[in-house]
Amino acid sequence: MPNGRTGAPDDDFAALTASLVGERGVEEVRARHAEALAVMGAPPDERFDRLTRLAQRVLHVPIAGVTLIADDLAWFRSFQGLDLLQMARCDTFCDVTVTRNAVNTVVDATAEAAYRNLPAVVGETALRAYAGIPLHDRSGIAIGAFCVYDTEPREFSEDELGTLRELASWAETELVRSEDVERARTVQQALLPQRSLEVDGLDVAGVCLPVGAVGGDFFDWDLVRGQLVFALVDVMGKGTAAALHAATFRALLRARTVDRARAIDSWDEPAALPRGLGDIVRGVDRLMRADLDRTGSMVTGFLARYDAARHRLHYADAGHGLSVVVRAAGGREHLVSRDLPVGVDPEADWSDHAVDLGPGDIALTFSDGLFELLGGDRAAFDAVESLVRTHPDADSLVAAITALAAQGDPIDDVTAVVVRRPAER
Amino acid sequence: MIDLEIDRRDDGVTVVRPAGRLTMVAAPQLTAVITDLVAEGRATFVVDLSQTVFVDSTGLGALIGCLKRARQAGGDLRLAAPTDQVTTILELTNLHRVLRTHDTVDEAGAEL
């Protein structure tokens, strides 16, 4: 089979990994990668499209693409000259390339037993020539191929294969990066409350839409000593750097809240008031300040708990300033403090505040991503109020904010938490 | 790249004027400029925000970082002539309590 294999197996480490994992294991790895990459039905990706367009032009071929192999299927992540999303794995040239884990060229498919009966060869597409370079994940397992096709028999020169290798290694880098980023996104989204909450006389909903795959915003809630405690936090900046601080902040906030609750029998104890929430923020600040200092970062946030018996919302605000109560009877209140963001001033302290919720009142805290979407000035609070009034329950308000973020092309993460005291029946 | 004008005044005050948007893109530049100026021996700064049309949280963080650097060097940092958007952000975050603002560069300089 002179045309079957022109390149050497990619590298020893890849071969070693594959042999250690074993063939069955490799298949599982491929399937998990395909899921992690969220390629199933994912829209074509411009990063790969550029590379496949380039391959098409430089190698003078009608078809070029990136194929990912998972289970029994081949997924076409980016294809020029062919309008297909997936195909049975065994019907593809790339299956051979991936299984062999080696550069694979075919001069004339009709002359080779392994390819002459493939649907793309006998069918309308009538493919004849093929060149494919295996693509590997971080651990060196072949998970797909960068490939070009011609409808006329042809050979590929060493020079052309060199170009193809370059393009493939570029695609591989992108693949590994997107896999990493997708995993990070999955983890960060999993750290958020997963569904709306109906507690003790309160409807609660939230949303966090990072502008990139991950971001510095998060929200959190839990029932602590019988009361709903919730927070919205915004780490300065965006992206992975902010996300690292966000994960730390969330963990410390949870730990300090539990510590605080453990120290008291109920939130009614004098010890819990008047500085219950402010103390929690101060505790987090003291623990995080060195990290934030070293990286030149800071964090704004809103922390609250709801006393259902008294219909009273207690809160502390760390330079967040973007929280309101919209009154069912008309008007709104801006929930403010004079307290700084976390990580700014070693002497800083945080105070406790409270506001009563009447029947049908809605409290909304949101991040500056939404603030900027709504104009980024004081008038944005009017826009927030009318948004609340036109969507008077927690879930529909969150859905409206999500839709707004989808249309508005936000420049920063959009996050919001809504709590509503139902109107009395 | 943001346009950053630097004026080393004879009274020891350094005026830094960032023009445009002070965001994730430009903020590190401002921090680097102030860091260099501190290394040069300058410690009192006025950041003239009259030409700064927009500041996001990263921009605020950079201003705080610059304030810390100036204080560590035994000096201080004041803001001058912020636009409405910048004033709103400073007030909402309560950072106007540490980042003192003045109507003009001269007023800010006189306080240093």
Residue of A nearest to B54 (CA): A376
Average confidence score pLDDT of chain A: 87
Confirm if B9 and B15 have CB atoms less than 8 A apart.
yes
Q: What is the pTM of this model?
A: 0.77
Contact by Cβ (8 Å): B103, B78: no
Instruction: Report pLDDT for A38.
Output: 40
* Euclidean distance between CA atoms A69 and A31, whole angstroms: 8
Chain A residue nearest residue B67, CA to CA: A344
Mean of pLDDT values over B70-83: 96
Report the chain B residue with the minimal C-alpha distance to residue A302: B93
Q: CB-based contact (8 Å) between B72 and chain A?
A: no
* Residues in chain A closer than 8 A to B65 (CB atoms): 296
Q: Mean pLDDT, to the nearest integer, of A190-196?
A: 91
Share of chain A above pLDDT 70, in %: 88
- Residue A14, pLDDT > 50, answer no
Mean pLDDT within A47-65: 94
Number of H helices, E strands in chain B: 4, 6
Distance CA B78, CA B70 (A): 10
Whether residues B61 and A296 touch (CB distance < 8 A) is answered with yes
A300 with B57: Cβ contact below 8 A:
yes
The band of A394, judged by pLDDT with boundaries at 50, 70 and 90, is very high
pLDDT for position A208: 96
**pLDDT number for residue A40:** 40
Higher model confidence: residue A425 or residue A167? A167
Query: Is residue A213 predicted with pLDDT exceeding 90?
Result: no
Of A273 and A107, more confident: A107
Closest-CA residue to A227 (of A266, A278, A194): A266
- Give the bridge partners for A227, in sequence order: A224
Residue bearing the bigger pLDDT, A36 or A57: A57
Of B60, B61, B85, the CB nearest to A376: B85
B-chain residues within 8 Å CB-CB of A341? 93-95
Q: Which residue has the higher pLDDT, A120 or A34?
A: A120
For residue B97, give how far its alpha carbon lies from the nearest alpha carbon of chain A (Å): 8
**What ipTM score was computed for the predicted complex, to two decimals?**
0.91
Average pLDDT on B28-32 reads 93
Is the pLDDT at A9 greater than 60, yes or no? no
Q: Chain B: give the shortest CA distance to residue A195, in Å.
A: 29
* SS3 annotation, chain A: CCCCCCCCCCCHHHHHHHHHHCHHHHHHHHHHHHHHCCCCCCCCCHHHHHHHHHHHHHCCCCEEEEEEEECCEEEEEEEECCCCCEEEHHHCHHHHHHHHCCCEEECCHHHCCCCCCCHHHHCCCCCCEEEEEEEECCCCCEEEEEEEEECCCCCCCHHHHHHHHHHHHHHHHHHHHHHHHHHHHHHHHHCCCCCCEEECCEEEEEEEECCCCCCCEEEEEEEECCEEEEEEEEECCCHHHHHHHHHHHHHHHHHHHHHHHHCCCCCCCHHHCCCHHHHHHHHHHHHHHHHHHHCCCCEEEEEEEEECCCCEEEEEEEECCCEEEECCCCCEEECCCCCCCECCCCCCCCCCEEEECCCCCEEEEECHHHHHHCCCCCHHHHHHHHHHHHCCCHHHHHHHHHHHHHHHCCCCCEEEEEEECCCCC
**A237–B98: do the CB atoms touch at under 8 Å?**
no
Q: A245 touching B, CB under 8 A?
A: no
For residue B23, what is the nearest residue in chain A, using CA coordinates? A237
Residues 6+ apart with CB under 8 A from A356: A310, A311, A312, A313
User: Which candidate from B57, B64, B93 shows the least CB-CB separation from A237?
Assistant: B57
Q: Under an 8 A CB cutoff, do A337 and B56 touch?
A: no
Identify which has the larger pLDDT, A5 or A170. Answer: A170
pLDDT at position A138 over 90 = no
Gap from B104 CA to chain A (nearest CA, Å): 22
* Min distance B95 CA to chain A CA atoms (Å): 6
Q: Residues A325-343: pLDDT tens digits?
A: 999 999 999 999 999 999 9
Q: What is the mean pLDDT of residues A380-392?
A: 94
Distance from CA of B34 to the nearest CA of A (A): 14
Q: Do B57 and A411 touch (CB under 8 A)?
A: no
Q: Rounded to whole angstroms, how far apart are CA atoms A327 and A304? A: 18
pLDDT band at A76 (very low <50, low <70, confident <90, very high): confident
Q: What are the residues whose beta carbons fall under 8 Å from the beta carbon of A31, sequence distance 6 or more?
A: A70, A71
pLDDT tens-digit readout, A226-266: 899 999 999 998 888 899 999 999 999 999 998 888 887 77
Number of neighbouring beta carbons within 10 Å of residue A137: 21
Phi and psi at A6, nearest 5°, equal -110, -25
Ranking A152-161, A226-235, A267-276, A344-353 by mean pLDDT, the lowest is A267-276
Nearest to A105 by CA among A131, A87, A72: A131
Averaged pLDDT, A100-128: 94
Q: Starting at the earlier edge strand, list the strands of the sheet with A217-224.
A: A217-224, A227-235, A299-307, A312-318, A353-356
Say if CB B88 and CB B54 are below 8 A apart.
no
Choose the closest CB to B61 out of A298, A338, A345. Answer: A298
Question: Which member of B56, B92, B95 has the closest CB to residue A412?
Answer: B56
> CB A329: neighbour CB atoms within 10 A?
8
- The tokens for A135 are 């693509």
What's residue A392's pLDDT? Answer: 85
The pLDDT score that the predictor gives to residue A174 is 86
Contact A344/B95, CB-based, under 8 Å? Answer: yes
Q: How far is A216 from chain B (nearest CA, A)?
A: 11
Higher pLDDT, A32 or B47: B47
Give the residue-averaged pLDDT of B55-78: 94
Distance, in Å, from the CA atom of A322 to the CA atom of A299, rounded to the nearest integer, reads 14
Contacts of A238 in chain B (CB under 8 A): 24, 58
- Distance from C-alpha of A421 to C-alpha of A405, rounded to nearest angstrom: 25
For the cut 70, the answer to whether the pLDDT of residue A3 exceeds it is no
Search chain B and give the residue with CA nearest A217: B57
**pLDDT tens-place string over residues A338-378:** 999 999 999 999 999 999 999 999 999 999 999 999 988 89
pLDDT at residue A268 in the model? 74
- A47-51, A58-62, A97-101, range with the lowest pLDDT: A47-51
Q: Work out how many CB contacts closer than 8 A connect A with B.
A: 64
Express as a percent the part of chain A with pLDDT over 90: 64
- Residues facing A221 on adjacent strands: A230
Number of neighbouring beta carbons within 10 Å of residue B73: 17
Mutation target among B54, B69, B94 for the A interface, most CBs of A within 10 A: B94
pLDDT above 60 for A6: no
Q: How far apart are CA A240 and CA A212, in angstroms?
A: 9
Give the chain A residue nearest B58 (alpha carbons): A237
Place of tokens 């998990």: A32
- H/E stretch holding B33 reads helix B27-39
A425 pLDDT tier (thresholds 50, 70, 90): low
From chain A, pick out residues whose CB is under 8 angstroms from the CB of B98.
340, 344-345
pLDDT, one tens digit per residue, over A16-50 is 444 444 554 667 666 656 555 544 445 557 788 99
Query: What does the DSSP 8-state code read for residue B97?
Result: G
**Alpha carbons A18 and A140: distance in angstroms, whole number:** 8
Contact B61 A320 (CB under 8 A): no
Q: Tell me, yes or no, if A104 comes closer than 8 A to chain B by beta carbon.
A: no
Residue A251 near residue A386 (C-beta atoms within 8 A): no
pLDDT at A73: 87
**Ranges A25-29, A122-126, A144-148: which has the least confidence:** A25-29
Residue B27's contacts (CB-CB under 8 Å, 6 or more residues apart) are B58, B59, B61, B62
- The pLDDT assigned to A407 comes to 85
Q: Is B1 helix (H, G, I), strand (E, B) or coil?
A: coil
